[in-house]
Amino acid sequence: MSQLIIPHNYKNPLSLQQTEIAIKKIKDFFLSSISTELRLRRVTAPLFVLKGLGMNDDLSGKERPVTFPIKDMAEAQAEVVHSLAKWKRVTLAEYKVENGYGIITDMNAIRADEELDNLHSLYVDQWDWERVMPEECRTVEYLKKIVERIYGAILRTEYHICETYPQIEPFLPEEIKFIHAEELLQRYPTLSAKEREDAICKEYGAVFIIGIGSELSNGEKHDNRAPDYDDYSTICDKTGFAGLNGDLLIWYPILERAIELSSMGIRVNREALERQLEQSGKEERKKLYFHRRLIEGSLPQSIGGGIGQSRLCMILLHKAHVGETQSSIWPEEMRIACKEAGMTLI
């Protein structure tokens, strides 16, 4: 069984029926809040895309997509999406979305290679959003401004839920701390990447780590990123650090660990794409549909990311396992252990 954290004296604040009602409240309220904050319009998204177009996302570059043949298309192979970063950027172009506006969708995915635990499931549901931005806004300052708006929407949703259910008390800090992955390494040079996340989140409560995917001074990356959606290689003139992307994390006292709520960033332009494909040895991707369109200049500059729906519901409802806020497949021994600890998996 994958590693399972069982909190000491865990008490579920809501019944199963109350939880289902609260999940809908969170999803409705947060969707409205972030859509207003970032001027996003909801669109319908695919569950799968055709293989070979370069439209699916590799995430860290290692995950295997779930594939299946399509009988009525001469057995052409389809892939269940991992996320929609590249699909969204093409959709911005197809819909001719104006500068300063964007799209948001309910993204559902299957990630068969996940190691199942309190936070990770085979089933992924997230708000996937993408916003058109001017080329001149490709800066860390612009990235931070968007992150603060997203965090503000999270705080408002927490307040709404705590007003609705008085037994749930707020715990998120009013402000979010920004730090580059290299600064984090210098601050905690003897700790692993995950240990560094725990240390900084425990200190500040909410943190955005910049530069996920860029190589650090120790020759390693804080975490992996596929080379063709986030820009993790552009150097900031003010700091000298690489990366226009990052992860939003919070300290979660129930599990006593850091939890990532969102991965996001300013997307690659032509220069960053070609640089990152070369650095990663993936230059053959230039021939794929998405990459050709980006290189030829037919896709808008954008910023975007994903925010886990079940995970946000989990932390705002003070649950100990993501299976308490979504229905999925879990190892039987995990289900038994969770039930004994009062963690009712849906």
Q: Which residues are catalytic?
A: 57, 111, 126, 247, 260, 263
Query: What six digits make up the tokens of 327?
Result: 């229905």
Residue 168 amino acid letter:
I
Residue 200 amino acid letter:
I
Spatial distance between the Cα atoms of 173 and 157, rounded to a whole number of angstroms: 13
Query: What six digits make up the tokens of 272?
Result: 């960053």
301-330 burial: b if 16+ Cβ within 10 Å, else e: bbbbbbbbbbbbbbbbbbbbbbbbbbebeb
Q: Positive or negative CA dihedral for 120, 178, 252, 193?
A: positive
Residue 267 amino acid letter:
R
User: How does DSSP classify residue 325?
Assistant: S
Full DSSP string of 54-115: S-S--TTTTPPPPEEEEGGGTTEEEEE-S--HHHHHHHHHHHTPPTT-EEEEEEEEE-TT--
Of 153, 147, 231, 216, the C-alpha closest to 185 is: 216
Helices (H), 111-244: 140-164, 181-187, 193-204
Spatial distance between the Cα atoms of 263 and 76, rounded to a whole number of angstroms: 31
Spatial distance between the Cα atoms of 259 and 250, rounded to a whole number of angstroms: 5
- The angle at the Cα of 56, spanning 50 to 59, to the nearest 5 degrees, equals 155
**What is the residue whose two structure tokens read 């009525």?**
72
